[in-house]
Chain A
Amino acid sequence: MKFDSPATTSPIDRGRVIGKPLDRIDGPAKVTGTAPYAFERHDVAPNAAYGWIVGAAIAKGSITSIDSGAAEAAPGVLAVVTHRNAGPLAKGNMNTAHLLGGPGIEHYDQAVALVVADTLEQARDAAKLVQVDYAPVKGRFDLAAERDMAIKAPDGFGGAADTAVGDFAGAFARAAVKIDQSYTTPDHSHAMMEPHATTAAWNNGKLTLWTSNQMVALTLKDVAKTLGMKPEDIRLVSPYVGGGFGAKLWLRADALLAALGARAVGRPVKVAIARPQIPNNTTHRPATIQRIRIGAGKDGVIDAIGHETWSGDLPDGGAEMASQQTRLLYRGDNRMTAHRLATLDLPEGNSMRAPGEAVGLLALEVAMDELAEACNLDPVELRIRNDVQYDPEAGPQRPYSSRKLVECLRHGADRFGWSRRQARPGHMRDGRWLVGMGVASAFRGALTTDSAARVGVDGMGRVIVETDMTDIGTGSYTILGQTAAEMMGVDLAAVTVRLGDSKFPVSAGSGGQWGAASSTAGVYAACLALRRSLAEKAGFPVDQATFEDGLVRFGNQSQPLGKLAGRDGLWAEEKAEFGDLAKRYAQATFGAHFCEVGVDADTAEIRIRRMSGVFSAGRILNPKSARSQVIGAMTMGVGAALMEELTVDTRFGFFVNHDMAEYLVPVHADIPAQDVIFLDELDDKASPLKAKGVGELGICGAGAAVANAIYNATGIRLRDYPLTIDKLLERAKGSALFQG
């Protein structure tokens, strides 16, 4: 099915199942611990041996010798896999560094060996017996120091590295009000709760990987490439993913080494990347330095806007595209964005939840707060004045498919009680707490990608959905079930959804917030085809048959689905292909974050007091799970604002705080009640269901609202994230607000 013209009325619009805040259908499995994750596949891979990864002790250089003799002689050890005995390995298309290092070492904790043993205890112990000697060479680890050596970044997934419209330099120079500030964001770790994990088994030259992965087909392709295998000889199964946030988009060392280990020992092998290895062995969101220049009139209307981003990655890596949203979010005839990429020998930088916008808005939305102050304007009003209903680079000929940013801001301000905010910083007090309020726009692109599914009806009238789509906590099981239930006219309870298996049709996968809109489109397409088959089988005119209550109806005739499907069932497979609507229309999701913080007047401890967000993202397929996505992302935004930072040791070239005791993410006590509202909206140009994703929107701008609230509370403008006590105190010296 080609989606190349706006969606018209469809059975989805009935809204009997779609759009309802239904409980997740995978809920009972998750709350009872019976949902099987990748390391838990005793059911399908009994008697698996255990692999333990040995990580490189240097950041850059080479291995001069490996002595695995002691490890091999240790009790229970079955094999030690290293680059010397692993056989030829290519590098996956999506990998920047090799997943098994040696002799060259590209980053700290790059895997250099896998020790396989009968038990986990034996493997973990023997891993320490592998003696590796290295010849280190000097690496580059300091983004600020390498900034001047940075070159133009390759174009990213989200667009061109450099853009220019009008005369930015001239307009900025002429502007009545100018903002020119730099901001920094540190390296972030996904820190999903389930470590990367895989159980691998070989059978007659064919490989099965039960793994924790967001993108089944993409990763399978890289498994094939890396191992030099035919894709059809590989099966990848990922039904439950214990969080990903981008960490599990790709083939990682757990899956490759489990496959190599299992081949070496002729028995299933399972490998989890140990938590202290994750930050340096796997990927992270790269640190950025961002410079933002905004030139506006005294009325706050933007005439010139420029956003430059510097980030670093290993050779042949990619940039953090943090300037992206600045191309699209606000008006202004004169614009420029640029991305510069430095070579760093730190672990591989890559996607993390809302790559680009998540950290781009940490800068842009603070710059907007600074502009509001410079213009003596309310920051909500400033954003409203700079709204634009079309792609400001392309002009009115490329309108937004839908854009309700202004409504989000207005509605949010009302709900939050924004009018109570004191514009002058440092003028709200609650006991020992300096209180402040902040606002930020939320913006995230509404990407879609082709997605296929297979839908069937069995003889009992149950509807079955199969697609390699993953549910990484996003609610895919439920919204795909809802889509099929709505289309086929059955209750959600009558739908079985099977996901995350490469035997199933190739879906969009989970990433970039494209999953919901894309994968439901695939299921929708398959359901349309299945409806046709069923109607034909019933002898009803396809266009006039209706599906409800488990029946196909035409006039006063009806036939039960199960009877039509027969004993063998009836199946249809279809792919939704997205045409050029996204070219003709700018497509994005929008929102407005409001946050109130308290800052301790003595100690500068910062606490979130309340958060509120209003969002606009097309049809909300399931308001319950969508809300959860958004509050979770808002919390990750709080983490980015207040505490998250992979600390770089620029001498040894590694992330020092590589565990969950030292890399802090928000806990329960950090997060009070969060208020989330979705505006009623249908975007007929976004997807057949008129829906867009929300999984990343919530993080976009959330941290900036926190930062702006801190400024409002204290009068101290911090521009280097995370906004911690030490930075606030450094600037608090002499501040009357901080009594000390």
Chain B
Amino acid sequence: MTSENISRRGLLHGSAALVAAVPAFGVVQAGVAPGHKASERTSMASVGMTINGQDVHLQLDPRTTLLDALREHLHLTGTKKGCDHGQCGACTVIVEGRRINSCLTLAVMHEGEEVTTIEGLGTPDKLHPMQKAFIVHDGYQCGYCTPGQICSAVAVLDEIEAGIPSHVTDDLDHVAFSDVELRERMSGNICRCAAYPNIIAAIRDASGHGAAEDKA
């Protein structure tokens, strides 16, 4: 048993947060996983992050992506692995307030950072408004891309609010909310079931922009 299991329990049971003594590891922390022969020595690295408001501290193979740290080590399986190569968006999480593909980043690169996953947005008993809107507008089918779509959608609204332009923004200095903007900004989240118009309707709804604008 490595410390990851202990941390996980702390996280999952919502008991007192395990505060990581955030180490400034300028050098690699070498360790040997118990039960391994000397020849199987693997260098482990430690990382502390705040995930959904909980401090966690993991000992990891440095090769572990943030996505696999979440899914396999912390058992936060809401974040999905669709392609593992940044080609689908199913693994989208919010790190330090920004959405990223958690498959294309190493967990150890996120020392001291704040990560929000779908589990941090809401629970079945206490849904985030975006989650609620996805249910009402049927913004999903198989459900596999859904957590990534929702994390992306939440971040997209912040991006528009912050004036971050997109490929379809006419005037780079004036970013306005529209369905066309939403579609472009959500394009990094592929939904093969293609609930696309429903997802856009859900985001509009959650954003307070009301009914769809671009009716066929």
Q: Do chains A and B touch in the complex (CB under 8 A)?
A: yes
Q: Is the CB–CB distance between A23 and B78 below 8 Å?
A: no
| Residue numbers in B under 8 Å from A665 (CB-CB) | 190, 192
Listed in ascending order, the chain A residues whose CB lies under 8 Å from chain B are 23-24, 26-37, 39-40, 42, 73, 75-76, 119-122, 125, 190-195, 240-245, 272, 274-276, 472-475, 610-612, 624-625, 627-629, 631-636, 659-661, 665-669, 671-675
Q: Is the CB–CB distance between B122 and A32 below 8 Å?
A: yes
Nearest A residue to B201, CB-CB: A673
Instruction: Please pick, from B85, B122, B143, the residue contacting A30 in the complex, using a CB distance under 8 A.
Output: B143
| Residue numbers in A under 8 Å from B87 (CB-CB) | 275, 659-661
> B79 near A: Cβ within 8 Å?
yes
| Residue numbers in A under 8 Å from B90 (CB-CB) | 193
Q: Is the CB–CB distance between A32 and B124 below 8 Å?
A: yes
| Residue numbers in A under 8 Å from B147 (CB-CB) | 31-33
* Given pairs A31-B122, A474-B141, A631-B197, 4 additional interface contacts (CB within 8 A): A194-B80, A243-B192, A628-B138, A668-B182
Instruction: Please pick, from B75, B131, B143, B195, the residue contacting A242 in the complex, using a CB distance under 8 A.
Output: B143
> B183 near A: Cβ within 8 Å?
yes
| Residue numbers in B under 8 Å from A40 (CB-CB) | 71, 77
Nearest A residue to B84, CB-CB: A275
Cα–Cα, bound, A190→B82 (Å): 13
Nearest A residue to B122, CB-CB: A32
Q: Interface size (B, Cβ < 8 Å)?
A: 73
| Residue numbers in B under 8 Å from A30 (CB-CB) | 140, 143, 146
| Residue numbers in B under 8 Å from A195 (CB-CB) | 81-82
Q: Is the CB–CB distance between B187 and A669 below 8 Å?
A: yes
Name the distance in Å between B87's Cβ and chain A's nearest Cβ.
Answer: 4
Q: Is the CB–CB distance between B183 and A192 below 8 Å?
A: no
Known A-B contacts A42-B75, A121-B63; the reply to A27 vs B135 at CB < 8 A is yes
Known A-B contacts A23-B135, A120-B68, A668-B199; the reply to A660 vs B83 at CB < 8 A is yes
Instruction: Please pick, from A32, A243, A668, the residue contacting B186 in the complex, using a CB distance under 8 A.
Output: A668
Q: Is the CB–CB distance between A23 and B138 below 8 Å?
A: yes
| Residue numbers in B under 8 Å from A668 (CB-CB) | 182-184, 186-187, 189, 191, 196, 199-200
> B19 near A: Cβ within 8 Å?
no
Among B22-30, B36-44, B94-102, B170-178, the stretch in contact with A: B36-44
Q: Is the CB–CB distance between B190 and A632 below 8 Å?
A: no
Name the distance in Å between A572's Cβ and chain B's nearest Cβ.
Answer: 30
Known A-B contacts A23-B135, A23-B136, A33-B77; the reply to A632 vs B84 at CB < 8 A is no
Cα–Cα, bound, A64→B18 (Å): 53
Q: Is the CB–CB distance between A193 and B192 below 8 Å?
A: yes
> B193 near A: Cβ within 8 Å?
yes
Q: Is the CB–CB distance between A275 and B85 below 8 Å?
A: yes
Q: List 26 A-B contacts (CB under 8 A).
A: A28-B135, A31-B131, A33-B76, A33-B80, A33-B117, A37-B77, A37-B80, A42-B77, A121-B61, A193-B80, A194-B142, A194-B144, A243-B144, A245-B192, A472-B142, A628-B138, A631-B197, A632-B141, A635-B196, A636-B192, A660-B83, A666-B196, A668-B186, A668-B200, A671-B196, A675-B215
Nearest A residue to B121, CB-CB: A32
| Residue numbers in B under 8 Å from A633 (CB-CB) | 194
Q: Is the CB–CB distance between A35 and B184 below 8 Å?
A: no
Q: Is the CB–CB distance between B142 and A242 below 8 Å?
A: yes
Name the distance in Å between B142's Cβ and chain A's nearest Cβ.
Answer: 3
Known A-B contacts A39-B81, A659-B83, A673-B216; the reply to A242 vs B144 at CB < 8 A is yes
| Residue numbers in A under 8 Å from B134 (CB-CB) | 27, 31
Nearest B residue to A43, CB-CB: B75
Instruction: Please pick, from A34, A122, A275, A625, the residue contacting B138 in the complex, using a CB distance under 8 A.
Output: A625
Name the distance in Å between B17's Cβ and chain A's nearest Cβ.
Answer: 21
Instruction: Please pick, from B61, B82, B138, B143, the residue contacting A624 in the complex, using a CB distance under 8 A.
Output: B138
Known A-B contacts A30-B140, A659-B83; the reply to A669 vs B184 at CB < 8 A is yes
| Residue numbers in A under 8 Å from B184 (CB-CB) | 668-669
| Residue numbers in A under 8 Å from B164 (CB-CB) | none
Instruction: Please pick, from A28, A75, A473, the residue contacting B42 in the complex, using a CB distance under 8 A.
Output: A75
| Residue numbers in A under 8 Å from B118 (CB-CB) | 31-33
| Residue numbers in B under 8 Å from A661 (CB-CB) | 85-87
Name the distance in Å between A21's Cβ and chain B's nearest Cβ.
Answer: 9
Name the distance in Å between A535's Cβ and chain B's nearest Cβ.
Answer: 35
| Residue numbers in B under 8 Å from A629 (CB-CB) | 141
Cα–Cα, bound, A288→B107 (Å): 45
Q: Is the CB–CB distance between B143 and A671 below 8 Å?
A: no
| Residue numbers in A under 8 Å from B41 (CB-CB) | 75
> B119 near A: Cβ within 8 Å?
yes
- 1/0 per residue, CB under 8 A from A, across B128-157: the answer is 000110111010111111110010000000
Q: Is the CB–CB distance between A631 and B80 below 8 Å?
A: no
